[in-house]
A and B are shown apart, each in its own frame.
Chain A
Amino acid sequence: MNKLLKAAAGIVLASALSVSAIAADKLKVGFIYIGPPGDHGWTYQHDQGRQAIDAHFGDKVETVFVENVPEGPDAERTITRLARQGAGLIFTTSFGYMDPTMNVAAKFPDVKFEHATGYKRSDNVSTYGARFYEGRYVIGQIAAQMSKSGVAGYIGSFPIPEVVRGINSFLLGAQTVNPDFKLKVVWVNSWFDPGREADAAKVLISQGADIITQHTDSTAAVQVAEEQGVSAFGQASDMAAFAPNALLTSIIDNWADYYIARTQAVLDGSWVSTDTFGGMDANMVEMGPFINMPAAVKARAEATAEAIKTGKLHPFAGPVYKQDGSIAAAAGTTVDMGTLLGMDWYVQGVDDQL
């Protein structure tokens, strides 16, 4: 019995050694994706970041990814497998991977974990997210200048703070051009159902919206806009190929710089657990090419994006009024970060109720 235990311990030790030996000569970076890299949206952009690591570090780093991992027990199993295979750094790229990431991280103290859009951290788990609402402000401003009807349609997935923040930011941007700008919101209760997204776009257009924007993952809505001759914005990645005449610009998630920086930190041994909420200043949120719009509108959009980037302009700078007329931030102040992260109210002017 004693012998058996010793033998078992020896095997465990040996395998642990071999894992760390691999990790020492070549850093392995793992990625867990919620969808396929070909979704032309959220996962696609994360995969672009992974490829950027490959291009930047060459032979020093090896990347691996697992796609279509459902949030839940499967995620924990997959993350564990990556850690066992000797990954030194693992990016888990969806909100629902939060608890699985924490559980696996506790078992592998030497592996670094990076969880996207979550709020739970530990010594070897960092979180990161991006201030997409900055992009929403820019497109809102463009929308108000391009719209003839003065009504935009917004297709939402789920009424969570992330999405509500985008809606508010869009309308605040639009109101800088047209204080009476109207925003209609339709929820499809799904991140991904092309048919429903298309239905919602058609409904919004028939109700007078001549600008369509969406916080869902497919390209269905911009295609409907193209077909019906109204304008649209791309979400997560550049969607110009799907609506060459309708698309005005896209909000692009750019994870490449962050991924390279964090990989470098692990290589240097300088990695520490942090919480990153990067925006245009960190190039985490970028605007696609401004197309199908007059030069003046383009110039103003570029100026707004620049002002946000340099910190001169904050989308939620006061005065910001809630839908019920109460004040959320007085002139000279901005809505604070805690309120932004837990946003569950609309600003004045949204034609919907939460």
Chain B
Amino acid sequence: MSAYEAIILTIITASTPLLLAAIGELVVERSGVLNLGIEGMMVMGAVTGFAASYVTGSPWLGVLAAVLAGVATSMLFGLLTQTLMTNQVATGLAITLLGLGLSGLIGSGFVGLPGVKLTSVSITGLTDLPYVGRLVFDQDPLVYLSVILTLGVAYILKHTRVGLIIRAVGQNHHSAHALGYRVVTVRYACIAFGGATSGLAGAYLSLVYTPQWIENMTAGRGWIALALVVFSTWLPARLAAGAYLFGGVWILGLYAQGMGIGIPAQLLSSLPYVATILALVIISTNRRLSVINTPASLGQGFVPDR
């Protein structure tokens, strides 16, 4: 494996959990809901995925369990914010804290056990292609899934009736309601989707990235995913670019250190954040585009009149 392939592979691994978690949150926010609980849903997915795969021996059951755990956690958020009308920001933060604590409790018996790794899918024959063979055709299944999800979300949001409804609900829930759409139901569905992809991101951490369970192993990735959604101005293509930019700058920072260039390590590890801020500034100079895509009802609860 050449150095170039190794760099790209490492970047893909570092970026995929961010992309998975962020693509779900993008849909959630497009429907007008701000869920700050990504970190909590991710860590719940990570612990459940690890526990299920360890007990059953099957990484796929682990992935399934992680998705279910993510959905369950997100449904708690949905119940609180959509039915009981609590404040979305406060509830999201509470979900994060709950997830971090509860996952520690669930996972206390699984700390320090070697995990079951989800193996990569290689497409025979194609992996030998020069330069791109191993990069495109020898990845773990969740990487492919993250790409499919991103393309799918982009297509559905832009070209289908379902996407139109989600965007309508996020732009102006009163109008959507007046047209006869069930605003709360649509939002519940979007929140569940966000929970599912956050759970997947968690599973990616505990089954692929570092196959083990350690308390708080998400280490703030949920917050980065949240920032990426804003960074992308709610556009899936930009979201993918942002996730890979972030992962890329981070990994290249490590590379630069390993080469002994002599740039302070502290500066290098702040670079991904600096790059994100710079990109954000450049994007936001085009105000019209940002305003068009921002869901106008973001973070506002909706109570049907009747």
Contact = CB atoms under 8 A, between A and B. Distances in A.
A39 B214 contact: yes
A329 B261 CA distance: 27
Interface string B256-273: 011110100110010000
B214 A218 contact: yes
A188 B114 contact: no
Given A206-B6, A223-B212, A189 B265 contact: yes
Contacts of A322: none
A336 interface: no
A204 interface: yes
10 contacts: A156-B265, A159-B265, A189-B269, A194-B210, A194-B214, A203-B254, A204-B258, A209-B258, A218-B210, A223-B212
Contact of B258 (A35, A184, A189): A184
A292 B181 CA distance: 65
Interface in A192-206: 192-200, 202-206
Interface in B1-22: 1, 3, 6-7, 9-10, 13-14, 17
Interface stretch (B28-36, B82-90, B170-178, B215-223): B215-223
B219 A38 contact: no
A349 B266 CA distance: 22
Given A205-B6, A223-B114, 18 more contacts: A36-B111, A40-B111, A184-B259, A186-B258, A187-B257, A187-B265, A188-B254, A194-B210, A195-B219, A199-B13, A203-B10, A203-B254, A206-B7, A206-B10, A207-B3, A220-B210, A242-B114, A352-B257
Contacts of B259: 184, 207
Interface string A174-192: 0000000000111111101
Summarize B's interface: helix, strand, loop or mixed: helix
Interface of B: 1, 3, 6-7, 9-10, 13-14, 17, 104, 108, 111-112, 114, 117, 205, 209-212, 214-217, 219, 221, 250-251, 254-255, 257-260, 262, 265-266, 269
Q: Which of A39, A195, A207, A209 has the largest count of B CB atoms less than 10 A from its CB?
A: A195
Nearest to A197: B210
A194 B212 CA distance: 9
Given A241-B114, A353-B262, A194 B217 contact: yes
A302 interface: no
Contacts of B257: 185-187, 352
B104 A36 contact: yes
Interface string A201-238: 01111110100000000111001000100000000000
A195 B209 contact: yes
Contacts of B114: 223, 241-242
Contacts of A227: 117
Contact of A199 (B14, B221, B265): B14
Interface string A314-354: 00000000000000000000000000000000000001110
Nearest to A204: B258
Contacts of B104: 36, 68
A351 B255 CA distance: 13
A189 B1 CA distance: 28
Contacts of B3: 206-207
Nearest to A202: B10
B20 to A, nearest CB: 14
B108 A38 contact: yes
A195 B217 contact: yes
A338 to B, nearest CB: 26
B244 to A, nearest CB: 14
A173 interface: no
A39 B211 contact: no
A153 interface: yes
Contacts of B17: 195
Nearest to B211: A223
Contact of B210 (A198, A206, A209): A198
Contacts of A219: 112, 212
Contacts of A220: 210, 212
A203 B258 CA distance: 7
B45 to A, nearest CB: 14
Interface in A118-170: 153, 156, 159
B275 to A, nearest CB: 16
A203 B266 contact: no
Contact of A207 (B221, B258, B269): B258
A39 B104 CA distance: 12
A206 B219 CA distance: 25
Given A194-B217, A220-B212, A351-B260, A38 B111 contact: yes
A34 to B, nearest CB: 12
B7 A198 contact: no
A72 to B, nearest CB: 17
A188 B257 CA distance: 10
Contacts of A187: 257, 265-266, 269
B208 to A, nearest CB: 10
A186 B266 CA distance: 11
Contacts of B260: 184-185, 351-353
